[in-house]
A and B are shown apart, each in its own frame.
Chain A
Amino acid sequence: EDKVVQSPLSLVVHEGDTVTLNCSYEVTNFRSLLWYKQEKKAPTFLFMLTSSGIEKKSGRLSSILDKKELFSILNITATQTGDSAVYLCAVEAGYGGSQGNLIFGKGTKLSVKP
């Protein structure tokens, strides 16, 4: 059965700290891995990763994928209280041109204290 496992499930840090969130997966017909940020509403898209070893960056956030070891990490540097949220990892699995279901992990709840 396809699954996505995130760790840790929750994390408390202080402003200015750097955090690393982990996502491992076991899926057939991997297509892509996506990271979302969810506050008290719907998930908002952060990154989509399809190739191993290529880092994606957006401001203080960065992410990388290892397709050999089947995991991804999301780094947040110089954390701010506004980074407090649940970070969801999802893997898209599908065949050729068919649709890709998103299989989500349970998320990592990040709390950034002032």
Chain B
Amino acid sequence: DTGVSQDPRHKITKRGQNVTFRCDPISEHNRLYWYRQTLGQGPEFLTYFQNEAQLEKSRLLSDRFSAERPKGSFSTLEIQRTEQGDSAMYLCASSSSWTSGRGETQYFGPGTRLLVL
């Protein structure tokens, strides 16, 4: 399978616990994005990596959230001291910057659905 993969697909946790999600992008893609999607809304941008460098973080990404992409391949998103408001679908997408010109297509993984009790 050459698509974007995410693990786990579902996570139920208690408020105050820490959770970590993993994303494996399409292998030749150098850009990796994290989004959050709540019911009835479109995805909201959280953060973005080009190779191993985290280039931008949304103001939605509080200090309880941290993301890494240590070797420029897979990425992890950790949420510390989870709150009920963190319940959402966390989507990962990847793209390639190698094509010239404007615009690039982001391909999404299946998402990790988080429920904080």
Using CB atoms and an 8 Å cutoff, list the residues of chain A in contact with chain B: 4, 31-32, 34, 36, 41-45, 48, 50, 88, 90, 92, 97-107
**Within 8 Å CB of A107, what residues of B?**
42
CA of A32 to CA of B103, assembled, Å: 5
Interface of A (DSSP majority class)? strand
Closest 9 CB pairs of A and B: A104-B42, A32-B103, A42-B108, A31-B102, A101-B45, A50-B103, A42-B111, A43-B108, A42-B110
**Within 8 Å CB of A106, what residues of B?**
40-42
Q: 12 extra interchain contacts, Cβ-Cβ under 8 A, other than A36-B108, A100-B104?
A: A32-B102, A32-B104, A34-B106, A42-B111, A43-B108, A45-B105, A45-B106, A90-B42, A92-B103, A98-B55, A99-B31, A102-B33
Q: A42-B91, A48-B103, A92-B103 are in contact. Are A102 and B109 (CB under 8 A)?
A: no
